[in-house]
Amino acid sequence: MRTLSTEYEVRGPWSLATSRRFWEGFAPAALAAQASDALSTVFRVEADWSWASAEVTQRESSAVVQVRGDGDLEAAAAQVTRFLSLDVDAEGWPEVGKRDAVIADAQRELPGLRPCGFHSPYEAAAWAVLSQRIRIVQAARLRAGIIEDYGDEGAFPSPERLRRADLDLPGRKNEFLRAVADAALEGRLDTATLRSVDPQEAEQRVQQVKGIGPFAAELVVLRGANVPDAVPANESRLHAEIAERYGDDAVLDEVSLAWRPFRTWACVLLRAMREYRTHEIG
């Protein structure tokens, strides 16, 4: 087992504490609440599907990323910056708040929040299959069971192991998970590839994987590849938030024009505000 520690300059606002708070409430990421100031997680490295652990700390405007594993650790560290949105130059993010008072309020409420996505599009696609037509808490239990039986030290199983797993899952989830595993092994769920094309084209490519529909494809691209500038078309709760914040006649596609080139970030910020508000009320 080897260790690599790398320091990255984060361009634009960022708060590890705020981002970690967001991720701790993000069930698919399976990040437990942590006592230290660091963010720690385990994941599969896209470059070689090896196991890796990561610990991230903040040093003023820099992120210190320490990864441990037996695979490509440089690729692992770079992957951490992607799923924490640290690789995005966000110096222009405050300007979005200047153009939109609603976003400005949210930025003040959750300062330095950067969207924390899935570890990879592969894990996002697997979650999309597991969560189809069942409650999130049930899907989380299914995922936890798969990790316990076929994962490594808390990480989701590699695509090769997942496609050979004998899983007791409802409906066609076994079939669809194998299709996801095959797509990952063939490079069709590669983060760099999905981020190199228009988000809508990326979503169309992902929908070619058996069992992945439009809603799931959005999840894979926007939260798996962590694309920073796209608008989800199938998020009913986001549309409800838009109606509440901007008025019943507001249209997401029109409102979001002021958010470019951080439309995904603005959508996540509004959704986070809604979740926190609902949790506080509930």
* Confidence (pLDDT) at 276: 64
Tell me whether residue 102 is in a domain: yes
Tell me whether residue 181 is in a domain: yes
Q: Which of 17-26, 196-205, 210-219, 226-235 has the lowest mean pLDDT?
A: 17-26
Is the same domain home to 181 and 83?
no
Over residues 151-187, the pLDDT tens digits come to 999 999 999 999 999 999 999 999 999 999 999 999 9
Q: How confident is the model at residue 22 (pLDDT cuts 50, 70, 90)?
A: confident
Tell me whether residue 256 is in a domain: no
- Domain containing residue 60: CATH number: 3.30.310
Is the same domain home to 27 and 75?
yes
Is the same domain home to 138 and 98?
no
Domain count, the chain: 2
Tell me whether residue 217 is in a domain: yes
Over residues 31-40, the pLDDT tens digits come to 454 556 899 9
Is the same domain home to 104 and 155?
no
Measure the CA–CA gap between 258 and 48, rounded to whole angstroms.
39
- pTM beyond 0.85: yes
Domain that holds residue 37: 2-109
Measure the CA–CA gap between 222 and 115, rounded to whole angstroms.
10
CA distances 172 to 10, 129, 130, 186, Å, are 42, 9, 10, 21
